[in-house]
Amino acid sequence: MKNILNFAVVGVGGIGQGHVSGVIKAPNANLVAVCDPKGEEIWEYRKKYFPKELIPDVPLFTDYEEMLQSVELDAVVLSTPDVMHLPMAVRAFELGIDVLCEKPLTLTREEALEMMNAAKQYGRRFFVGQICRFSPAFQKAKELLDSGIIGDVFCVESQYVHGCHEDLPAENWRKNPPRHATSCGGCHAIDLVRYMIGDPEEVFAYGNRLCRTDWEVEDCSETLMKFSGGAIGRVMTSLGNIYKYSMKTLIFGTKGTIEANNVEDTVLVYTRDENKVISESEYKVDINSHNALEEIQDMCEAILFGKKVCHEGIEGVKTVCVCAAAIASIASGKPEKPDYPVIEE
């Protein structure tokens, strides 16, 4: 029985570097190629700054199609600009290759559905790089939540605060088309809230562009959410702030509250005893906000051994649906219902 998958990483820029390391380290993955038109240049950098065991001795392709025709692959990691995800994923599916696709899967709901349908048509698996699901702080928060320690959730608050893209040149892919804060990094916090407490049935969002006046769409947004069980939630996202990169998340339950942040080593739980005294418990965790190793290893175990994992492609599709509803709400000034796909069993 096969127990190792042959991978290529496509796009070895910022986040792709992490995927290369993740594939090298994952026990059930084997890196056989990388692909990036700027590969030579990027590789020189990697050779200078990375330990030897993380400098792969594999062919570097500058053309995706040429790589697909030249190497026997089981899976590709797509860490290319988001507008390339759909055509690259569909081409991989056609050739019988499974995909781990970076977030956002696509910029629109329609394209996300197209990716999902193509995977189904060709009988392939796809997974989404919503990396916060693998952050130790959020994994611990999820475990505590599922243990029932805070009772039933009535409210959740998260944020994606990242003062990034300050000096991007006009030709940078992130500016064309300009990314709404919500679907840029904001999709991390929206996805995290979905992961923690489920799919919002309605959202209402405001956005502004007071910080990043060079950005053509809002660089800050607040999205309110309503969930079917009655819980409510809020996600704030900002690309132009002066603050530390942070995803502080508070989950309020009827019996307690969980506080977690992917850049902190402590998850806090507040509970109250029979004398109404509130106490704070600390759970120590590693800080690893880009846990590519576990993300890749889980994908391998899902494909090879049927493991149930948290980053199946459908999760990425649903997160795109919520982001699309939030962006639509900013434009319409009205609440919007995310239009989730109907999944046939």
Under a CB-based contact definition with an 8 Å cutoff, are residues 235 and 159 in contact? Answer: yes
Of 9, 112, 119, 131, the residue at the interface with ligand NAD (CB under 6 A) is 131
If one asks whether residue 14 binds ligand NAD (CB under 6 A), the answer comes out as yes
The span from the CA of 239 to the CA of 221, in Å, is 10
If one asks whether residue 114 binds ligand NAD (CB under 6 A), the answer comes out as no
Which residue type sits at 22? G
Binding pattern for the stretch 264-293 against ligand NAD, x by CB under 6 A and - elsewhere = --------------------------x---
Of 31, 36, 158, 217, the residue at the interface with ligand NAD (CB under 6 A) is 36
Of 74, 82, 259, 298, the residue at the interface with ligand NAD (CB under 6 A) is 82
CB of 252 to ligand NAD, least distance (A): 26
Which stretch in 75-83, 141-149, 303-311, 331-339 sits in contact with ligand NAD by CB under 6 A?
A: 75-83
Q: Which is nearer to ligand NAD, 35 or 236 (CB)?
A: 35
Which stretch in 31-39, 192-200, 203-211, 301-309 sits in contact with ligand NAD by CB under 6 A?
A: 31-39
If one asks whether residue 129 binds ligand NAD (CB under 6 A), the answer comes out as yes
Instruction: Pick the closest to residue 129 from 178, 83, 88, 79 (CA basis).
Output: 79
Under a CB-based contact definition with an 8 Å cutoff, are residues 205 and 223 in contact? Answer: yes
Under a CB-based contact definition with an 8 Å cutoff, are residues 248 and 191 in contact? Answer: no
Say how far residue 2 (Cα) sits from the centre of its chain. Answer: 28
Which stretch in 5-13, 266-274, 280-288, 307-315 sits in contact with ligand NAD by CB under 6 A?
A: 5-13
CB of 38 to ligand NAD, least distance (A): 4
The span from the CA of 321 to the CA of 318, in Å, is 5
Of 74, 98, 102, 294, the residue at the interface with ligand NAD (CB under 6 A) is 102
Residues contacting 38, CB < 8 A, separation 6+:
13
Which stretch in 32-40, 117-125, 244-252, 274-282 sits in contact with ligand NAD by CB under 6 A?
A: 32-40
If one asks whether residue 296 binds ligand NAD (CB under 6 A), the answer comes out as no
If one asks whether residue 103 binds ligand NAD (CB under 6 A), the answer comes out as yes
Q: Which is nearer to ligand NAD, 88 or 225 (CB)?
A: 88
Question: Phi/psi of residue 269, each to 5°?
Answer: -130, 125
If one asks whether residue 136 binds ligand NAD (CB under 6 A), the answer comes out as no
CA 33 vs CA 46, 58, 98, 283, 313: distances in Å: 15, 5, 15, 39, 23
Binding pattern for the stretch 37-66 against ligand NAD, x by CB under 6 A and - elsewhere = xx---x---------------------x--
CB of 316 to ligand NAD, least distance (A): 11
Which stretch in 43-51, 81-89, 214-222, 298-306 sits in contact with ligand NAD by CB under 6 A?
A: 81-89
Query: Which residues share a beta bridge with 251?
Result: 156, 258
If one asks whether residue 328 binds ligand NAD (CB under 6 A), the answer comes out as no
For ligand NAD, the binding residues (CB under 6 A) are 10-16, 35-38, 42, 64, 79-82, 84, 102-103, 129, 131, 290
